[in-house]
Amino acid sequence: MIDYGPFWDYMRKNNISQYYLIQHGIASKTIYNIKKNCYISTSTLEKLCKIMDCTPNDIIKFTDD
């Protein structure tokens, strides 16, 4: 299972708001999907990494169900 916990931790540590992400082209539906640990595309993951200046490991982690 994919867990987006690191995404929220990274945002807190780096003072990045959800509004900032929306201003930079991330759809509010994407943020909703991340909150619910639902699917986001790899292109969205790449876009998030560019906007937040991070790596995928800063956004997701894999856990056993």
What is the Cα–Cα distance from 65 to 62, expressed in whole angstroms? 9
Q: 58 to each of 3, 65, how far by Cα in Å?
A: 11, 20
pLDDT, one tens digit per residue, over 1-51 is 889 999 999 999 999 999 999 999 999 999 999 999 999 999 999 999 999
Stated pTM of the model: 0.88
**Burial bucket for residue 40 (CB in 10 Å: 0-12, 13-18, 19+):** buried
Inform me whether the pLDDT recorded for 63 exceeds 90.
Answer: no
